[in-house]
Amino acid sequence: MNNPFRPSGCEAVPSVSVRHLPFDDPGTPNLRSPARYLLWTGRMQWRTLALGVVFGVVWMVAQALVPAAIGRGLQEGVAEGDLATAGRWSLVVLGLALVQAVFGVMRHRMAVDNWLRASFRAMQLLGRHSSLVGVAIRRRLPTGEVVSAATNDALHIGSAFDVSARLSGAVVSYVVVAVILLNASVQLGLVVLLGVPAMVLFLGPLLRPLQRRQHVQREVAGKLTALGADTVAGLRVLRGIGGEPAFFARYRERSTQLRAAGVHVAVPQATLDAAQVLLPGIFLVLVTWLSARLALAGTIDVGDVVAFYGYAFFLVVPIRTAIEAADKVTRSLVGARRIVAVLATEPEISDPQVAAAEPPLQATLADPSSGLTVEPGTMTALVSADPDDTAAIAHRLGRLVSGAESDLVTLGGTRLRDLPLSTVRRRVLVSEAEPRLFSGILRDELDPWARVSPDGERSRDDRHLTAAVHVAAAEDVLDALPEGLDAEVDEAGRGFSGGQRQRLALARAVLADPDVLVLVEPTSSVDAHTEILVAQRLRAARHTEGGRTTVVTTASPLLLDRCDNVAFVLSGRVVARGTHRHLLASHPGYRDTVTRGVEP
């Protein structure tokens, strides 16, 4: 059957050999510890890390050799009056400067590349895992915890890989300078070899309390984010019951706690930042003083004095880089702990160990716990005096919940629990009573499944989208937007009314064109005139010869009258079946539920 909502020609979209983010497959992370997660991330991008290390080493070693070249030029050229030699050494300095410039640019580029790869991989893993785990993640972790992990912590993860190239260059250049100094003066060489590690180790006692306090700060920030999200989501209700002052007081209290945690972090952080300036400065003074004494004693010449001063000045860079790396790795470990906690949450519903064969199209959907049977190609309604009963059945039909009752639901005689979740999600789509809209372009919001070819063509053109908008009777929503389908949807679709969001979500569900579409109270927020249009158009779009199966939970007579079958649910069980008009005439309980006690 040709369906106007199915994409056409998307299978022919060629692949393009370009480096892009997000990844096609972010991989399966090692979650045994934060450190193991970081090591796994490093292995996943070892090529770019290795390339960054090469660029970083060459870049910083070229800097380390500049003082030696300047010192030799001064001693052999200027001091001894050999201008030709001075010119040659000047060219060497120029060459080293060019090497620094070229490899410095490449090192920076690879550092940003590694930072983005690690951060995006973490974000992608968190997004994928959240979608797989579903509501279970909200039951086990605060919303703010998940949001903070996907934003702040993911970026901190990347910073550890950003500094890897500079740290490698710092270590190698430190060794190079130490060897040069040992050849010139054992005393100065030993000062460098022992002094630099001593300064780095001196910072060790600062890192542990910093890591601990940063972890506490992130926990408080996550709770504050969750409280803010909950407050904004329920602001309209809070205003109605006069609860704004109480919630704002809680928010102020949490904000004060976060500020106190930030101040608590600031003490070791400020000490660490001060050490990055103080310790290299002390080291610079010490090396300069020792080289001056050796020059006065005649042990080294003028060129060596200049070179040693340059080395001492240069060594500030690797020392500060090592201190910065320690700080960033500490932050990354704190962030990795949060990310591992989110990724370690187990889904309530998982794939079977041995998957059953996929049922054929036009399969019967059955829920033995309620006694509901939905024939293929029909439009079936579920009615109950308690909407939670029909919503529970709808969730079982889509395998959105776990439990003994959900395990009994079958599609074409095959239990949904025996099918891969990807198959269930593709075959059965459940649209909630309060669907979510995400920020972005409206076209992408309505059709997130569309594929885009390299030349920018979409697998579905605007005709498919406007057809789905027509089914949902949402043309007025589209007409009110100056940019039309290119309009920007703000967060959670707050720029739309409840009825507009509901109709746009219905258009999105219709455009998905699943084999079984389960709609939970799809017209609860629209007026009667719009409801009639939705009922007529939904039936026409889904109910054709060999068409799709549709299940609707509703108590609206306007929608029920367009359904092929109606099942009346009482205490979670189907107690009556028939058409809407038949049940009105034959079942008093159904009539009272639909008419709300008012005689038609």
Angle, in degrees to the nearest 10, between helices 154-162 and 34-44 = 60
Q: Is 365-595 the same fold as 30-343?
A: no
Pick the CATH number of 30-343 from 1.20.1730.10, 1.20.1560.10, 2.140.10.10, 3.40.190.10: 1.20.1560.10
Q: Is residue 224 predicted with pLDDT exceeding 70?
A: no
pLDDT given for residue 9 in this prediction: 43
Q: What is the mean pLDDT of residues 534-551?
A: 82
pLDDT of residue 260: 75
pLDDT attached to residue 457: 61
Q: What is the pLDDT of residue 179?
A: 83
Among 394-398, 546-550, 558-562, which stretch is predicted with the lowest mean pLDDT?
Answer: 546-550
Task: Give mean pLDDT, residues 578-591.
Answer: 90
B/e letters for 415-447, b = 16+ CB within 10 Å, e = fewer, are bbbbbebebbbebbbbbbbebebeeeebbebbb
Position 1 confidence tier, pLDDT thresholds 50, 70, 90: very low
Place of tokens 């498919």: 464
Residue-range domain boundaries for the chain: 30-343, 365-595
What's the pLDDT score for residue 10?
Answer: 42
* 484-537 confidence digits (pLDDT tens): 777 777 766 677 777 888 888 888 888 888 899 999 988 888 888 888 898 888
C-alpha–C-alpha distance, residues 383 and 368, integer Å: 17
DSSP structure string for 277-293: HHHHHHHHHHHHHHHHH
Give residue 157's pLDDT band: very low, low, confident or very high (50, 70, 90).
confident
Band of residue 133 on the pLDDT scale cut at 50, 70, 90:
confident
Q: Considering only 80-94, 117-131, 523-537, 560-574, which range has the smallest mean pLDDT?
A: 80-94
Least confidently predicted of 73-82, 112-121, 551-560: 73-82
pLDDT level of residue 178 (50, 70, 90 thresholds): confident
- Superfamily covering domain 365-595: P-loop containing nucleotide triphosphate hydrolases (3.40.50.300)
The chain-wide mean pLDDT, for the chain, equals: 79
pLDDT in tens, 37-93: 999 999 999 999 999 999 999 999 998 888 888 877 776 766 566 777 778 888 988
Cα 280 to Cα 286: distance, rounded to the nearest angstrom: 10
DSSP 546: T
> Which stretches of 344-454 are DSSP H helices?
387-397, 421-427, 442-446
Residue 380, pLDDT score: 92
Choice among 12-16, 275-279, 412-416 with the minimum mean pLDDT = 12-16
Question: Half-sphere exposure (CA, 13 Å, Cβ side) for 521?
Answer: 18
Whole-number percent of the chain with pLDDT over 90: 18
User: Per-residue pLDDT tens for 346-395?
Assistant: 777 777 888 888 888 888 999 999 999 999 988 999 999 888 899 999 99
Most confident of 15-24, 131-140, 256-265: 256-265
Dihedral sign for Cα atoms in the order 201, 206, 211, 214: negative
Query: Does residue 591 surpass a pLDDT of 70?
Result: yes
The DSSP annotation for 33-79 comes to: -HHHHHHHHHHHTHHHHHHHHHHHHHHHHHHHHHHHHHHHIIIIIII
Distance from chain centroid for Cα 422: 20
204-218, 353-367, 423-437: the lowest-pLDDT one = 204-218
